[in-house]
Structure 1
Amino acid sequence: MNRILRSFDYFDAIAAENFLRSIKQASLLLDFDLLDERQHESLAETLTTQFRYLTVSTSYTKSKRYGFDLSHYNENEIKTRVRDKRFWKSQIRKRSKELLSELERCIGLVSNRRAKYCGDLTYGRFRESEQKSNEFLERHFIQSLDGERVSLKEISEHNTTNKQILFYEWITRVKGFDELAERYGHASMMVTLTCPAYMHATHSRSGSLNQKYDGQTVRECQRHLNTVWRRVRAKLKRDNVNIYGMRVVEPHHDGTPHWHLIVHCEEPELKQVKRIIKHYALQESPNERGALERRVDFIDIDRAKGSSASYLAKYLAKNMIGLDSEGEGCRRVSRHATDCARAWASAHSIRQFQQFGGASVTVYRELRRLRDETLDPLIEPARLAADASNWATYCEAVGGVSVSSRTQTIKPYYEQSESFNRSTGEIIEAGQSENVNRYGEPKSKVVKGLAYAGKVRKTRTKLWTIIASPPQSDASPPARAACRGNGGHLGLV
């Protein structure tokens, strides 16, 4: 550090040392460095010892002071989890990657001029984590009681864990909603919601630190947008206005989130929906310079020019699979840029893609597991539509365009799974007291099939267990591609 500081004058050197000291202090917890993965094991042991005999209320308070949010666990869940070292290790890893990403963002290492969407260290950790996950999938199999064995890697390549398959499913759903809107004469628009200026860490053009930035984290920015949207939905519900569509969350160049939404509603209610969205989007700092122009933006979809799928497709592609070549109205986005956006979402635990309104995607996926004709008129039309990837007809078959998860005619059926004792080979039936998770709690119910008209049709009947094979690889993760300079080839916004 002294060699680096030698080129600065005395006062600059003192300021730099204080700055580095403050960064170091921010990463310390109980004298352990959260950013040093080698210390996570020892920190987890220390936290386990500290929390072992604490009351529930004290555990809540102390964990919050240490920076862990455990508010979504109930009292019984807290008692068992704070005494488990594996639980603390997962919490520490989560906190560590978020802290690292926030530090890179706050000191100006995430911008158009540096590294877009996330810093180099965050990206490197994400790639390393992906490689470990892939190696785990390659080394493990699921095996049924009758001896059938399938690789977890093969399974992941044929479900929505595969980003290409997830992209196709989303395009199917976006296109299906657009078909429904066209059938019923509904209006469609694209809405972009952004955060106030004080939530942005750096300027877009220069990449310099934003003097108005008040230290809001990415999670706090996302919470702000979520609050705006919850208020919009609540107001629309009070006014009996039904909307449906899709939402994509992506980062600005400096990692601050913004939303793109495709919204469908009845034509006479379009102006009312716009007014409500604008009202709540501008509740925070409404007089800020540029707020009226940039905080919320509406684009009415003209189907003569393109469907809503064509409007949202590039945002889905940019955050899932990347774009290999330029298309009409769409810049080229490298897979590297897409990986940076995914690393950003992973670091801050952000759900990037979400549907609002319309029929259940869980039911849609379970119907697609039924390959043979059911001979049941209550379920067969929906099964045929799902099997043909016809989202619009599927929605109509389970209740129509305004259907919700509570009112649709076919619902997911949940049931506690059986489990398998590996040491004895004994099957532990659902509901038995021995059928518990590692915290001694009854295992959660999982989707087992479909429920409709008082009937149940099982879609998952086999009992599987995971088995491991010897390690396959110890390769190092690939290095991050160069992203210095003006960032002109990294795409997004």
Structure 2
Amino acid sequence: MRQGFRYLPPPLKTLITLGNEQLCDIAHNIAKCHFVRQKSLTLECTAEYCRSQHEYGIAIKKSSRHSLDGIMMRLRSEVYWREQINNLADEHREHHAMQGKLLGDPKYGLMPYCTDQTAKLFEDRRTSIHAKMQRSVAIPSTGVTKSDIYANSERSRLNQLYLTVKAMEQLAVSREYIWIMMTLTCPPSFHPSSKSYDGSSLRDGNDFLNQLYRKLFKFLGKKYHANADYFGLRVAEVHQDGCPHWHVLFYCSDKMLIDIQSKLEQLLSGDGRPDGYYKTYSNKILKKQVDSGNETSPIGYVFKHLFPRSSGNVSTTDTRTDRRVSYALRAAGVRQYQLIGAEGISTKVRALRKIANDPSAPNNLKQLATTLVANPADDRARRLQGMVDLLDHASRDVKFIRELCLNRFREPASRLSHLKHHKDKRCYELGRYSITAICSAAVTINVSSKKKGNTRSSNCISLRKIYHYSTQEQIQSIDLSTPCLAYPPAQLRWRPP
């Protein structure tokens, strides 16, 4: 490789017009350029180099999680730059289309939800990933290939989400809660189809909605507690002109409904909307079970853009509506859905479903896991009831245990390593189908953040040791030397991780 290699990436307005292969070439050349530059860096210049802005204004802030050596490895990593370049190009492509008012109703010659180029790029990426995984060797015990897992992963994830929300609905009936579906929208200044559009992007609109959401639930958090008093689901969607909106479905008591109505009326005023906006459109902003009748369920409406369904005459391409909505949100880096009052449930369910197939799993974990797996159609009701019990109380009996490790950039991190039921004396080791014998307690080690003015040696990190006993938790802070947890400085080589 030539020592004097230099590369000037194309400007942003050109970047958004390129295809996947060209974007990958740009990421490759930027990583190669940083590799050559790092070969000539002195030790004194390393810190300034890591703190400075790089191509397209991208900078990596040094923190307790990011070391200088890790930042150096990121900057010469083709994988890192490929992710950054793709995200940058996707977001600005959609923002440029919104500013040019190219998104909207197809009957007016516009592209719905996202640009055709973005839809094609994401489709090509899906096809490329599937093709690479098809070349993988099947797992001997099951005969399943990575391509099969990838093809079924999205459908399995959405099916699990649907089952969780159905369990929430059943749990709400037992607690005598009502359902509320709240629709949060942006003011006209965020809509490209409006005359008062100010050039905001989809992410700007989502940040506005997130701010509304946080203010509402900060107010509710003073009187109510998640899972105990309310739970539900938040789903982000996109109008055809690219502006986002949220559907928030949650189950709560009648008393909480009164507080929500008063707070919403206060929040949805003075942000560019006309006076009396909430009172005029309250029946659309807040739909209640008491208005719709006890037989009505809003789950189907909330999931209308999550589950695959064909919709005719929506695009000049052959891409489905649900995928175009998903691609628009992914291009802006917006999370499409999130559970409310059930944090960590999805991860626990995935781990428990794996345990159900292991005969050597601890008894209580095994018993809980079998209620979530139903092969015959007759057991669907049992599986739903198992999910209801998990949401109601069983999830509190199961704890994840994290262990200290190193990430791909040789920085201290943590990962889920074990699962433990409080009635079991043994922990289940995730990913290895084996049992770790712990007679009295399980131990979690967390890396604490560094404090200013710390006089400890740079080779020593502060850890928190948490002992999970059957009846109590004991927390102990310790200082642990890092040589056994860290590699020596990474060798400067091509190709980086």
- Check the 8 A contact 1:382/1:393 in 2, yes or no: no
Match of 2:428 among 448, 457, 473: 457
Q: Structure 1 residue 373: deviation in Å?
A: 7.6
The answer to whether the aligner puts 1:211 opposite 2:207 as a matched pair is no
- 2:289 partner amino acid: I
The answer to whether the aligner puts 1:182 opposite 2:173 as a matched pair is yes
Q: Structure 1 residue 181: deviation in Å?
A: 0.8
- Check the 8 A contact 1:193/1:281 in 2, yes or no: no
**CA distance in 2 between partners of 1:238 and 1:99 (Å):** 39
Q: Structure 1 residue 223: deviation in Å?
A: 1.5
Q: Is there any run of 5+ residues in structure 2 with no aligned partner, and where?
A: 1-9, 313-317, 375-379, 435-497
**CA distance in 1 between partners of 2:341 and 2:31 (Å):** 41
Match of 2:100 among 107, 128, 140: 107
Q: Structure 1 residue 173: deviation in Å?
A: 1.3
Per the alignment, residue 488 of structure 1 pairs with: none
The answer to whether the aligner puts 1:162 opposite 2:154 as a matched pair is yes
Q: Structure 1 residue 410: deviation in Å?
A: 1.0
Per the alignment, residue 365 of structure 1 pairs with: 350
Per the alignment, residue 412 of structure 1 pairs with: 400
Gap change, CA 1:200 and 1:59, over 3 Å in 2: farther
For 1:386, what is the secondary structure of its paired residue?
A: coil
Per the alignment, residue 266 of structure 2 pairs with: 279
1:196-249 superposed Cα distances (whole Å, 9 cap, x missing partner): 1101112xxxxxxx3311121111211121122122222211223532101111
Q: How many residues align?
A: 393
- Check the 8 A contact 1:68/1:95 in 2, yes or no: no
**CA distance in 2 between partners of 1:411 and 1:166 (Å):** 22
Per the alignment, residue 223 of structure 1 pairs with: 207
Higher relative contact order (CA 8 A, sep 6+): 1
- Check the 8 A contact 1:27/1:34 in 2, yes or no: no
- Check the 8 A contact 2:168/2:388 in 1, yes or no: no
The 5 A counterparts of 1:227-266 are 227-241=211-225, 242-266=229-253
1:380-403 superposed Cα distances (whole Å, 9 cap, x missing partner): 6633432256576446645737x9
**CA distance in 2 between partners of 1:300 and 1:174 (Å):** 17
Q: Structure 1 residue 100: deviation in Å?
A: 1.4
- 2:98 partner amino acid: R
- 2:295 partner amino acid: G
The 5 A counterparts of 1:86-165 are 86-112=79-105, 113=108, 114-141=110-137, 150-158=144-152, 161-163=153-155, 165=156
The 5 A counterparts of 1:324-403 are 336-358=320-342, 360-369=345-354, 370-371=356-357, 378-379=364-365, 382-388=368-374, 393-394=385-386, 397-398=389-390, 400=392
For 2:148, what is the secondary structure of its paired residue?
A: helix
Gap change, CA 1:382 and 1:367, over 3 Å in 2: same
- 1:104 partner amino acid: A
**CA distance in 1 between partners of 2:173 and 2:29 (Å):** 59
Q: Which deviates further from its counterpart, 65-74 or 445-454?
A: 65-74
Q: Structure 1 residue 179: deviation in Å?
A: 0.7
**CA distance in 2 between partners of 1:72 and 1:178 (Å):** 45
- Check the 8 A contact 1:178/1:307 in 2, yes or no: no
**CA distance in 2 between partners of 1:437 and 1:149 (Å):** 30
Gap change, CA 1:225 and 1:267, over 3 Å in 2: same
Per the alignment, residue 295 of structure 2 pairs with: 306
Gap change, CA 1:122 and 1:323, over 3 Å in 2: closer
- Check the 8 A contact 2:232/2:340 in 1, yes or no: yes
| TM-score for both structures, normalised by structure 2 | 0.68
- Check the 8 A contact 1:250/1:259 in 2, yes or no: yes
Q: Structure 1 residue 304: deviation in Å?
A: 4.4
1:396-433 superposed Cα distances (whole Å, 9 cap, x missing partner): 645737x9x7xx121234446xxxxxxxxxxxxxx6xx
**CA distance in 1 between partners of 2:17 and 2:305 (Å):** 34
Q: Structure 1 residue 118: deviation in Å?
A: 0.5
**CA distance in 1 between partners of 2:83 and 2:116 (Å):** 22
Q: Which deviates further from its counterpart, 255-264 or 272-281?
A: 272-281
RMSD: 3.8
For 1:351, what is the secondary structure of its paired residue?
A: coil
Q: Structure 1 residue 307: deviation in Å?
A: 4.5
**CA distance in 2 between partners of 1:149 and 1:277 (Å):** 53
**CA distance in 2 between partners of 1:443 and 1:462 (Å):** 23
Q: Structure 1 residue 291: deviation in Å?
A: 6.5
| TM-score for both structures, normalised by structure 1 | 0.68
- 1:460 partner amino acid: G
